[in-house]
Amino acid sequence: MASFMLRYLAQRSFSRTAFQYASSTPFVQRQIIQEDDISQTKKETNTSIVAEDPLQHDDYFNVRSMVTLDDLFKNRAHYGHVTGMRNPWMSQYIYGHRLDVDIIDLDKTLPMLHRALNFLAHISYRQGVILFLTRYPAHVPLVERAARDCGEYAHCRQWDYPFTNTQALFGYDIRLPDACIFTHTLAPPNQLHPAVSDSNKLLIPTVALCDTDSNPNIITYPIPSNDDTPKLIEFYLTLFQQAIMAGKEKRREKDLAN
């Protein structure tokens, strides 16, 4: 009798355990399915946020496809000045020298150029004002035409300090640019362009081509490169235009979608 009762209790406890496990299994499965759905929804939400927010995207405007290392080499961006004119702060961007002429390391130039183009595209996307500047005579017509073609502004004449002297020049305050692009950081007679100093004083970001005789520390987005050859300057201006127009095109697409 005792053995029968023990066998009966064991069967009942086993049946109860099996029933509880069987009854809880669908609940566990449903919970796992629900958690998978939630995680999938979160992934889709995060993906949409990344797609909609340019700041969360690695290359929202696809500027890396605009220029390659081969393009820079073919346009002679690696030629610097003679070694005696080297600015000490540019030494980190110099690969070596040949016939007493410094050779710029284009492996360092390319990612810095991509960052500068990406920055300009973001400024354009946010409807910022971009100002092209130069005092190099051979660059003036190229710079003015590039600014006109992309709907921005250029200042290639004598600098009357319009950033810090707006009241005296215009009689009222004006909107300052959100970014400045320099194709040449020097102004006659081979001195630093005053707009570089004014931009630093007013915290206006700057993008500039920095040859081996330039100081890259005073530029927000320096691009180590030859800054003299008109063909190369035209090449860079085309890239700047493409980045600015890419930002404006994305802005138009967003406004139409909204």
Residue 125 and residue 251 in contact, taking contact as beta carbons nearer than 8 Å:
yes
For residue 26, give its domain range. 2-52
Shared domain for 36 and 102, answered yes or no, is no
Q: Where are the beta strands (DSSP E) in the chain?
A: 79-82, 94-98, 101-104, 130-133, 153-155, 179-182, 186-187, 191-192, 206-210, 221-224
Question: Which residue, chain included where needed, has tokens 């958690």?
Answer: 35
pLDDT single digits (tens) 145-193: 999 999 999 999 999 899 998 888 888 888 999 999 999 999 887 899 9
- Collapsing DSSP to helix, strand or coil, 102 comes out as strand
Residues 24 and 129 in one domain: no
Beta bridge partners of 179: 130
**Mean pLDDT score, 54-78:** 93
Any residues with CB less than 8 A from the CB of 48 and at least 6 apart, and which? none
Orientation of helix 230-257 relative to helix 140-149, angle to 10°: 10
Query: What's the confidence (pLDDT) of residue 142?
Result: 96
Two tokens, residue 118: 């990406």
Count structural domains, the chain.
2
* Pair type for strands 191-192 and 186-187: antiparallel
What mean pLDDT is reported for the chain? Answer: 84
Q: Rounded to whole angstroms, how far apart are CA atoms 66 and 242?
A: 8
Whether residue 29 is predicted with pLDDT greater than 80 in this model: the reply is no
Same domain? 106 vs 198: yes
Domain edge (last residue) among 28, 52, 76: 52
Same domain, residue pair 48 and 97: no
**Are 95 and 129 in a shared domain?**
yes
pTM over 0.85: no
Kindly state whether residues 32 and 103 are assigned to the same domain: no
On whether both 126 and 223 belong to a single domain, the answer is yes
pLDDT grade for 62, boundaries at 50, 70 and 90: very high
- Give percent of the chain with pLDDT exceeding 70: 80
The whole-number average pLDDT for the span 32-55 is 55
Confidence of residue 45 (pLDDT cuts 50, 70, 90): very low
Cα(229)–Cα(76) distance, integer angstroms: 8
User: Is the domain of 142 the same as that of 27?
Assistant: no
The reported pLDDT for the residue numbered 194 is 94
Higher-pLDDT residue of 229, 48:
229
Q: What is the pLDDT of residue 2?
A: 45
The number of angstroms, rounded, from the C-alpha of 49 to the middle of its chain's C-alpha atoms is 19
State the pLDDT confidence band at 241, using cuts at 50, 70 and 90.
Answer: very high
Query: Do 136 and 11 sit in the same domain of this protein?
Result: no
Is the pLDDT score of 18 beyond 80?
no
C-alpha span between 219 and 213 (Å, rounded): 14
Residue 223 is predicted with a pLDDT of 97
Q: Radius of gyration of the chain from Cα atoms?
A: 31
pLDDT digits (tens, 9 = 90+) for 79-132: 999 998 999 999 999 999 889 999 999 999 999 999 999 999 999 999 999 999
Q: Could you tell me if 124 and 201 lie in one domain?
A: yes
| pLDDT value of position 120 | 97
Mark whether 129 and 74 lie in a shared domain. yes
Q: 146-153 — which CB contacts under 8 Å span 24+ positions?
A: 146/237, 146/238, 146/240, 146/241, 149/241, 150/240, 150/241, 150/244, 150/245, 151/244, 151/248, 152/244, 153/129, 153/177
pLDDT band at 53 (very low <50, low <70, confident <90, very high): confident
Checking DSSP bridges between strand 101-104 and strand 153-155, what pairing results, if any?
Answer: unpaired
Taking CA atoms, 28 is separated from 7, 32, 242, in Å, by: 31, 6, 55
Could you tell me the CATH number of the domain that includes residue 218?
Answer: 3.40.50.10490
**Bridge-partner residues for 82, per DSSP?**
101
SS (H, E, C) 190-214: CEECHHHHHHHHCCCCEEEEECCCC
- Are 75 and 101 within one domain? yes
State yes or no: pLDDT of 51 exceeds 80.
Answer: no
